[in-house]
């Protein structure tokens, strides 16, 4: 669980997302690009980002402030994303009463606290959040399918499941199969990715990852590319640059310090790599973002 405050000119380059995310926009506006589809987001909106997608985003106003929760679903049916494929979850939802913002804030508070019951509090609030987004998606589907307006009268649970859930047409099946086949999931590679995301400053230790996954060097690299769409080198480069960009925005650390923390002993080389990802130097990135 994280709370981000980004100023104008913030950019998050396209990256593979190895987990699902829920984001709540507290202030400002921005663009989230999920698998080449662009969504405008603004204050009091919730965005669902499914596991295995490609994500990039940037601020469009003077700032973009949001909560972000990372999670994985334990239930998968035919390797499909449960919330998207079976509950038809909308990518962007409005929180008109700001009740959901309170849920995000509570999760963030417990995540940063030391309560003995924090894990249960976090999980309970997360399940309430997921229940809310599923209900919103269901209500939206009912309204779209009711010619006389919203909403249809309640029936049995199965009657209330959106029709597309049970759609066995060839077109629907091909669409779901294409989406599933695009994402090459491997629990061994997911473990590697999770480790790298949690430790961006550590190098990609091929020998260590081969030992814990039981894969050969060539198999590890091949499966990693299939799983993430990037080589280990490119994945680590982008991960470190995104981490560096966040530290440039939320801390006053010197560029050389941030570079060293992320494993770059040569500040000039770090600056060249940063510019190759964001298009501007670290110093200019910090300056432009804080205007």
Q: Which helix (H) or strand (E) holds 93?
A: strand 92-94
Residues 120 and 215 in one domain: no
Structural domain of 167: 2-182
Residues 25 and 148 in one domain: yes
User: Where is the domain boundary, 125, 157, 182?
Assistant: 182
Hunting for tokens 């680590």 — which residue is that?
A: 236
Q: Quick: pLDDT tens for 217-252.
A: 999 999 988 888 788 888 888 889 888 887 887 788
Q: How many domains does the chain have?
A: 2
Residues 213 and 147 in one domain: no
User: Where is the domain boundary, 182, 197, 215?
Assistant: 182
- In the DSSP assignment, the letter for residue 166 is G
Q: What pLDDT sits at residue 94?
A: 92
The structure tokens listed for 202 are 């550590």
Residues 63 and 116 in one domain: yes
Q: Quick: pLDDT tens for 259-273.
A: 999 999 999 999 999
Decide: 102 and 68 in contact? Cβ < 8 Å. Answer: no
The CATH number covering residue 13 comes to 2.60.120.280
User: What average pLDDT score do residues 2-11 get?
Assistant: 79
pTM of this prediction exceeds 0.85: no
Residues 166 and 218 in one domain: no
Q: Quick: pLDDT tens for 140-168.
A: 655 555 434 333 333 333 444 333 333 33
């Amino acid at each position: 669980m994280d709370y981000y405050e980004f100023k104008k000119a913030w950019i998050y380059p396209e990256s593979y997302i190895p987990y699902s995310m829920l984001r709540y926009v507290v202030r400002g506006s921005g663009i989230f690009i999920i698998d080449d589809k662009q969504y405008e987001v603004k204050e009091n909106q919730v965005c669902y980002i499914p596991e295995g997608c490609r994500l990039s985003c940037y601020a469009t106003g003077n700032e973009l402030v949001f909560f972000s929760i990372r999670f994985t679903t334990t239930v998968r049916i035919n390797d499909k994303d449960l919330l998207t494929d079976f509950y038809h979850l909308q990518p962007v939802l409005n929180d008109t009463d700001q009740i959901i913002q309170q849920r995000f804030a509570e999760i963030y508070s417990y995540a940063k606290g030391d309560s003995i019951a924090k894990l249960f509090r976090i999980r309970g609030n997360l399940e309430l959040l997921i229940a809310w987004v599923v209900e919103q998606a269901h209500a939206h589907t009912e309204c779209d399918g009711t010619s006389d307006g919203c909403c249809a009268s309640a029936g049995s649970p199965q009657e209330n499941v959106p029709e597309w859930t049970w759609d066995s047409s060839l077109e629907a099946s091909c669409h779901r199969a294409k989406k599933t086949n695009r994402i090459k999931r491997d629990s061994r590679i997911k473990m590697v990715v999770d480790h790298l995301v949690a430790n961006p400053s550590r190098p990609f230790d091929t020998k260590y990852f081969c030992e814990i996954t039981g894969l050969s060097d060539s198999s590890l690299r091949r499966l990693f590319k299939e799983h993430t769409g990037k080589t280990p080198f490119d994945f680590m480069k982008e991960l470190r640059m995104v981490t560096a960009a966040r530290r440039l925005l939320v801390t006053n650390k010197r560029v050389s310090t941030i570079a060293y923390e992320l494993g770059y002993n040569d500040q000039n080389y770090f600056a060249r790599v940063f510019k190759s990802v964001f298009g501007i130097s670290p110093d200019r990135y910090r300056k432009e973002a804080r205007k």
